[in-house]
Chains A and B, each alone.
Chain A
């Protein structure tokens, strides 16, 4: 059983530190780099303890309250605490911990601030800090937006430092010596004469010392764990089949279920006939699933799958567009003033320059399709209602959303619901949705006392995703000499925020900057430059997909930059450098040019392309080298330079760049979700495939630390991959790709 099992959420809220046989330490001070009266007031009124460290006689436990979905956050966050606590992160227990608003993510809303990431003025940073205040009120424990390390970097180090301070005070009291004669090392307090007192022996005493008001953090020069490539805490488990994913949860006397939900997403189930299914082997129950579908509960998942196949359904239809063409028509129809969502950039006089240029204006249209998240682990969750208590086991990206949605559907109060967050077999944004948890709860409350694991088939998963939205971009560019004198960017897409937050009952007012993410906020200083977002009315559900709006807008804008460079007959890297003054962004371009040896003589049929996209505050430049072979395009090399401000773990950052790039390449090459008769057509990996070993390029990484603040790296590697590939293919073949996926026009090996 979890060492945290006996701590109630209530203990977190009231800030109680002493627990039976031990002590909890947490971040309790709302610290601001810029003095701010509003947040100071909040702090005075709400000094709740957020526990990150638990020490008792058996050991030290660190709570890393973010979803571990491959991005290495469990290790990275634990290392922040361990560094300040002076203990080897590999010698402690690390747990995700319970769902709690205390673990709200302060940084996740920062990206929505109306300042581009290269703007680090006092005002821009002040407003970013203010974004932490609504984040705190919302109390959302969420993993997304590449924000975990930004959120944790200060507060988890403070938690570790606070614990260390209390342990020193406890040791001083115990030994009746001056605290200043003591030091800490590797999990113990050391006296001047070399006596070692393990932290575990000081736990009870440390609970009674009064915590200091402030602690100081180690300077970077003293870091032993942060800034180093440290082995992942979950690596051995994950290589030996012993890691527990949601899919692997086993409870005593558990039953196994699957679901069938209306493939017309959002519409209801009119009726069903399960006569053929009830007598099939292993089938125990056939249950309604709210108003949208049916669950089959059996003694084995496979029996549930087989029985679900023979149920006959009469599904209601949806009112939105029933075909891919219809969805794109809705995007075209939204290019008008009534649908304008944002115009965060309007520099100079774009209309005047375009009017002057007349026929010399370069008009281009780009398109991106919908995409499924297609996590390797299909959606699943296990739930049990017993004695008024609801337990949920699931890999998920937002335990507090899970609490709220489970409470809504079951009528059980959040106090009586426990969310056990397992490892996630991929997230990419999919597991910030709560449908798979809601359906498991719907089953559990109909079978009180019996734990049920609800597993979706891959077909159900693929056809019932909340997709990366389709989008269209329209550009008008004017080139004079070697410069871009005007660029007008119009992007039309459904709003991810409206669709996704709407599903958990939240409404985010104002424009959705994800529609123009990585389009309006880039470091380019073009004299006449306008970026307008248009909102397509919500139809088919759309959602956050690794790098969100940047996943399509990076492709649109950086392909267009390449087109303009060719029109102006200038080197595409030189052209970008001429438009950028922000030093960290310039340096990633320069670094990638050096890494790729840009400009070198290439073998016959080879081509190189460059793209630069800043997303989630991280400028990332990529150069891709392809070869036109008789069997299609072969991607040989990807060179990448990225600036994360402070690199917590270089090996992990490299892994995330590799991952982000392959994710972006897969989408660019072959990713496409289409709709016919109101239903998604792709059902499994045979018709929604991904990049595979024989197609995966060598990836060469350069990590820079010139940026103004620490940044997260789970997503920023993805956006430049598609345009760098398209630009490389153009260089090798002369074929300009303006629509993803590229396989529609060109073959890959």
Chain B
């Protein structure tokens, strides 16, 4: 079947029931989305499908239609997305394993709400687990990124 990831078309030959995460990781060697729980409880596997945040560990690849964007497609080390840049500015990541998922969830939030209050941040990010407990810096980084987005929209 065909799969569009980060603007590139891929032909994959797998069972349609295989979760998108394992197609990305083991078939296409796109390892930014992480395996954490396999049951959509931790958010480490979060990607965007047509701009909407999705838990790739729990979506069969056969049901995916449209553009898949992973952390690698959001921005690169040389050209970071505004959310990634805010994450670096606030030195958010510790072990870093959950952060691709956190960043993808935050980027999706800011796309629809460029001025989230604490409650909106809680609602959008409470399904993303971080065992290092980096939450205070995540919150600060989301606010910094939001301010930058609002500035650039002026």
Contacts and interface: CB of A to CB of B under 8 A. Distances in A.
Interface in B109-149: 121-123, 125-139
Nearest to B138: A693
B37 A685 contact: yes
Interface in A385-442: 423-428
A698 B136 contact: yes
A71 B94 contact: yes
Contacts of A458: 36-39
B128 A655 contact: no
Candidate in B15, B19, B35, B84 with the most chain A CB atoms within 10 angstroms: B35
Given A655-B94, A694-B122, A685 B41 contact: yes
Interface in A299-344: 299-303, 305
A378 B36 contact: yes
A242 B72 contact: yes
A278 interface: no
Given A651-B91, A686-B39, A247 B34 contact: yes
B153 interface: no
A315 to B, nearest CB: 22
A237 interface: yes
B136 to A, nearest CB: 6
Contact of A245 (B39, B80, B97, B131): B97
Given A240-B72, A693-B125, A658 B31 contact: no
Contact of A231 (B32, B44, B88, B96): B88
A408 B34 CA distance: 32
A240 B34 CA distance: 12
Contact of A659 (B91, B132, B139): B132
Contacts of A426: 95, 97, 131-132
A700 to B, nearest CB: 10
Given A658-B133, A693-B121, A302 B95 contact: no
Contacts of A663: 131-133
A70 B26 contact: no
A423 B100 CA distance: 15
B3 interface: no
A378 B38 CA distance: 11
Contacts of A691: 133, 135
Nearest to B92: A239
Interface in A516-569: none
- Chain A, interface size: which category? 35 or more
B96 A238 contact: yes
Interface in A649-674: 651, 655, 658-663, 665-666
A35 interface: no
Chain B binding surface, main DSSP class: loop
B29 interface: yes
Contact of A240 (B14, B80, B130, B133): B80
Interface string B30-61: 01111111110110100000000000000000
A377 B133 contact: no
B93 interface: yes
Contacts of A696: 133, 135-136
Contacts of B33: 241
A617 interface: no
A69 interface: yes
A604 B60 CA distance: 50
A250 B134 contact: no
A234 interface: yes
B22 A247 contact: no
Contact of B39 (A244, A665, A684, A694): A684
B132 to A, nearest CB: 5
Contacts of A26: none
A232 interface: yes
A376 B44 contact: yes
- Chain B, interface size: which category? 35 or more
A235 B91 contact: yes
A241 B31 contact: yes
A376 B128 contact: no
B96 A234 contact: yes
B7 interface: no
A281 interface: yes
B108 interface: no
Contacts of B98: 376
A374 interface: yes
Contacts of A236: 77, 80, 88
B133 A301 contact: no
Contacts of A243: 96
A310 to B, nearest CB: 14
B103 interface: yes
Interface string A214-258: 000000000000000001101111111111110110100000100
A303 B93 CA distance: 31
A690 B43 CA distance: 13
Contacts of A727: none
A659 B94 contact: yes
Contacts of B103: 239
Contacts of B71: 240-241
B129 A699 contact: no
Interface in B72-107: 72, 75-77, 80, 84, 87-88, 91-100, 103
Nearest to A234: B96
Contacts of A428: 131
Nearest to B25: A301
Contact of A693 (B27, B88, B94, B128): B128
Contacts of A692: 126-129, 135
Candidate in B32, B96, B122 with the most chain A CB atoms within 10 angstroms: B96
A375 interface: yes
B64 interface: no
B94 A685 contact: no
Contacts of A282: 15
Interface string A618-661: 00000000000000000000000000000000010001001111
Contacts of A425: 34, 95-97
Contacts of B136: 658, 696, 698-699
Contact of B75 (A240, A301, A376): A240
B41 to A, nearest CB: 4
29 contacts: A69-B95, A70-B95, A236-B77, A239-B87, A239-B92, A240-B32, A240-B75, A241-B100, A242-B76, A299-B26, A300-B26, A300-B27, A301-B25, A302-B19, A302-B26, A375-B95, A375-B97, A376-B130, A424-B95, A425-B95, A428-B131, A455-B35, A655-B134, A658-B137, A663-B133, A666-B131, A692-B127, A692-B129, A693-B121
Given A248-B31, A693-B125, 5 more contacts: A232-B91, A237-B96, A375-B95, A376-B34, A659-B133
Interface of A: 69-72, 231-232, 234-245, 247-248, 250, 256, 281-282, 299-303, 305, 374-378, 423-428, 455, 457-458, 651, 655, 658-663, 665-666, 684-686, 689-694, 696, 698-699
Q: Which 7 A-B pairs have the closest CB atoms?
A: A662-B133, A241-B32, A425-B97, A238-B96, A70-B94, A70-B95, A241-B71
